[in-house]
Chain A
């Protein structure tokens, strides 16, 4: 494939200093991932799922592989949407929403799988640079000129709530090497995973240094019936409402017929 050659060449230039130290390895490593499907359907019995992504390292240095010095991090990021974070405070003894902050482009979900514990793969600065991991996601408040302390508080709360609802998750050991070059990543899809276009990204590290990343897209959608109902409710609210009323009346009437004899 000609395009692959170009990518490899670019990488070679970008990582020239790194590779300089290991001049004997002229061809740089490459990472690829493949999704068994580019579409996940949420059916009526959906209660969360595990998504498996397979991937391979090209041109892996056998020595580094044997020492287990290659690390892979796979991330599945949900569609970005604006989110409002509300805070309750005590007013007249009651807990009432009083303050709020809106954040732009918050990934609905963020599921990360790693070969080892994060601190064993690379240092915090490396994660920050790549904006990798729930705590390094850049969450942008709509009102960026607000009090920095408040913004910091709400940003932390947003992450904490996302983690508590299982939408942001980290799975240490979720990526496993099946052979020297083949790996498998297992990611968590929460029961309330958002529908839309998700992006899977894989990051390759060697001896704590970031080498390359690759990505693939995945569409999560409701299965036929659920999707049609949802779309219908959104687009034809009036007819949907009338249908809901008719269903209720028929159910009530049938209930009467079924149980009348008793």
Chain B
């Protein structure tokens, strides 16, 4: 165990005292990973905060706030390199707002019911498990092919699926895409919904969905995903602070500072690793978080009782 010096800080919304260094380190570690893998890191921050005894409702809402900083930082780079499809991002966003609103309503309802923690954990276990599993299978396959000397390609041009036969087509020039807006709006709404309930940007679902379902070129995927995440996370933050008062700015700020610094070092390490190696590592990480959360769900808790503020 590393001895962390104790410098307490009182979180005004969470109403508890926490160690500044633990939060900075947490933000830094997640920032490092997000810089390395090009993801927002929300899917790591929220579970980590819950493991650190921050109430899940606050962890989710604050996680969304933290995601804005890292996504904005990342999107700026892609905007400069022109690897960002603003039109595609905007359509995704339109769906995202609808999804985020529905998600916030579901969040408040589940919280009243006392099942918020359960649903948050279940969603994490399911999505992290599925995405991690798929990524691991895909990247191991790619690593094998790379070893045997075959070309590695994610996108197989010319190959079309059912999504490309839907009506209401729209042209997205930057992505060299001519596709129906229905799956784009639907995907945006779905990610928005998850963003509200799970406190994530949704990059870990958005990126594979854009690549595999919509066949968006890999180079514009991350920038576009980050672009829409900024707005969905901002919207989620505002909704949560209006409806539930669960955004803790002090907590979010500490995580952001650690995260922004960590991301820079992560990005440098990431450049030295190969794509499929990165994906395999990220898959393992995602699966580890899923397992840890599943463990809490299935193992008898220290106490089966819990207290919360009652409403008469």
Contacts and interface: CB of A to CB of B under 8 A. Distances in A.
Contact of B10 (A46, A94, A96, A102): A46
A237 interface: yes
Contacts of B170: none
Interface string A232-262: 0110011011111101110111111001001
Interface residues of B, number: 61
A220 to B, nearest CB: 12
A19 interface: no
Given A162-B307, A252-B71, 16 more contacts: A46-B10, A46-B17, A84-B309, A84-B310, A86-B307, A93-B298, A95-B300, A97-B117, A154-B305, A233-B245, A238-B241, A241-B238, A247-B256, A248-B69, A252-B73, A255-B263
Interface stretch (A37-45, A56-64, A128-136): A37-45
B250 interface: yes
28 contacts: A43-B10, A45-B8, A46-B10, A81-B310, A83-B308, A83-B309, A84-B310, A86-B305, A88-B306, A97-B117, A102-B310, A102-B312, A104-B312, A158-B305, A158-B307, A160-B305, A165-B307, A230-B12, A233-B247, A237-B242, A243-B249, A244-B241, A245-B238, A248-B252, A255-B256, A256-B76, A259-B264, A262-B264
Given A44-B10, A82-B312, A226-B12, A241 B237 contact: yes
B114 A241 contact: no
Contact of A252 (B68, B239, B304): B68
A69 interface: no
Interface string B1-26: 00000111110110111000000000
Interface in A41-56: 42-48
Interface SS of chain B: helix
Interface of A: 42-48, 81-90, 93-97, 100, 102-104, 142, 154, 157-158, 160-162, 164-165, 191-192, 195, 222, 225-227, 229-230, 233-234, 237-238, 240-245, 247-249, 251-256, 259, 262
